A and B are shown apart, each in its own frame.
Chain A
Amino acid sequence: MRGGLELANEVEVEVTVNGQPFKRRVQPRLLLVDFLRDELGLTGTHIGCDTGHCGACTVMLDGVTVKSCLLLAAQADGSEVQTIEGVSRREKLHPLQQAFLDHQGLQCGYCTPGMILSSLFLLNRNPNPSEDEVKRAIDGNLCRCTGYLGIVKAVRTAAATMSKEGSA
């Protein structure tokens, strides 16, 4: 009971976000995206449609991309989450971020965090994707500015950069 209002059970969430452990008590209905943004202050993960269509809220949960607006914070208990804040390598942009910049894979930037995470998932799985494979991999992420051409080019450029780095 709190303030006379009967609350549903709170649950404890222990989660590692971008390598850093956090522990919070939350209401079960708190969504993962709100947890990241409002509880942890990680506002790089965006809320676009809030209905699971646009992919702006995409984060990595235990190595796979999910839409954080369709997940309860409680469900991340015991998991590792990676958000856009955890993509760069210290002060240096990740090759994907650099390629998005170089190829103008963004304009307003709203979809970009989700785009980067979906692209990262693709490259982890398929280091040398074709143009069609890139298009397919980001088809759960809507961009209303770029027309996608710059994005697809950026992802393929990043793939080339990363495989060069990997073999170096």
Chain B
Amino acid sequence: MRPRSFEYHAASSLGEALNLLSKEEDTKILAGGQSLITLMKLRLATPASLVDINSILELNYIREEEGRIMIGALTRHDQLATSPLIRGKCLLLAEAADLIGDQQVRNRGTIGGSLAHADPSADLPAACTALNAEFKLTSKEGSRIVETQDFFVDFFTTSLRQREVIEEIRIPIPSPRSGGAYGKLTKGHNDFALVAVAAQCSLSLEGNCEAIGVVLGGVASKPTHATETEGKLLHECVDDRMIHESALKADAGLDPLPDPRGSSELKREMVRRLAENTLGIAFRRARRA
């Protein structure tokens, strides 16, 4: 099981990578490679050339800037999971990163790679969606900012253009009385999510829910807001009973594909239970914040 032959270029700067991308047809960016190399070994992906961006250190950073957390696309999952800034200000993202694969995968895999791959069961797309992240996409012609709902299009499909790369992920820092949590159910050890829930909420001084994001992974073609659940919680003084009742609507409108790991109805039941559990943690954290 070895990849088909391809041309290999290691870019040492973003500018060089963009140049290489603009020149070659059928080129893929090689970031952490934890999905791409596997797909190439299986020959499900057979790009004519790869532009390796792993040496572009300018794309690896986590910093706070004007009320936002800015994350370079080449930041590894393990860095997200262990960063004091992310653990302190958006725990949801750290929790999601910490649940990806195993240590070796987290050491190598990158946030940009995970987002560009857009596996509907992946953890970071759902987490970024719940956190209202924006992505800075850059090509030789310039940069544009895209919100998550315009970025994720379908199964393994994004609005990223052929000659563009994800340069940066920007996450607005939630207000001080906020809490987030990431929950994931898998069939076995280190598996992709069967069902995942990313929940992020903010409370007003009076304790009312003034912002809420409940995003489901693994049950649709892309990260999907549980809009009925969100609607039932927004502006309310949320207690456990309300969380329970809102979570009963978390699967509204969903029709998850059955697979050998579970039927559609099982997955819907899992969504409801996991939403209740994850929302409970998020709201407890917000109240304690």
Contact = CB atoms under 8 A, between A and B. Distances in A.
A137 B101 CA distance: 11
B156 interface: no
B6 A121 contact: no
Nearest to A58: B104
A29 B108 contact: no
A139 B186 CA distance: 14
Q: Max chain A CB contacts within 10 Å: which of B3, B4, B54, B103?
A: B103
Interface in B36-74: 37-38, 40-42, 50, 52, 54-55
A16 to B, nearest CB: 16
B33 A70 contact: yes
A168 to B, nearest CB: 29
Contacts of A136: 103
Contacts of A71: 33, 37, 108
B38 A28 contact: no
A8 B52 contact: no
27 contacts: A8-B8, A9-B7, A28-B8, A28-B50, A29-B2, A29-B4, A29-B40, A31-B2, A50-B1, A51-B38, A52-B105, A64-B78, A65-B103, A66-B107, A70-B33, A70-B37, A70-B38, A71-B37, A72-B30, A74-B8, A75-B10, A75-B33, A75-B52, A122-B103, A139-B189, A140-B103, A140-B105
Given A51-B38, A70-B108, A29 B103 contact: no
Contacts, number: 91
Interface residues of A, number: 35
A158 to B, nearest CB: 17
A149 interface: no
Interface in B75-111: 78, 101-105, 107-108
A11 B51 CA distance: 13
A66 to B, nearest CB: 5
A55 B104 contact: yes
A29 B1 contact: no
6 tightest CB-CB pairs across the interface, nearest first? A140-B102, A28-B8, A8-B5, A64-B107, A29-B3, A70-B37
Contacts of B1: 50-51
Contacts of B52: 72, 74-75
Interface of B: 1-8, 10, 30, 33-34, 37-38, 40-42, 50, 52, 54-55, 78, 101-105, 107-108, 189-190
A25 B12 CA distance: 20
A140 B104 contact: yes
A7 B7 CA distance: 9
Contact of A52 (B5, B8, B38, B54): B38
A14 interface: no
B104 A67 contact: yes
Given A8-B7, A75-B54, 7 more contacts: A55-B102, A66-B108, A70-B108, A72-B30, A74-B52, A75-B10, A140-B104
B4 A65 contact: no
A136 B7 CA distance: 37
Nearest to A66: B108
B101 A140 contact: yes
A58 B55 CA distance: 21
Q: Max chain B CB contacts within 10 Å: which of A51, A52, A141?
A: A52
Q: Max chain A CB contacts within 10 Å: which of B1, B78, B102, B104?
A: B104
Contacts of A139: 102-103, 189-190
Contacts of A51: 1, 38, 41-42
Nearest to B102: A140
Contacts of B107: 64-66
Interface in A105-140: 118, 121-122, 136-137, 139-140
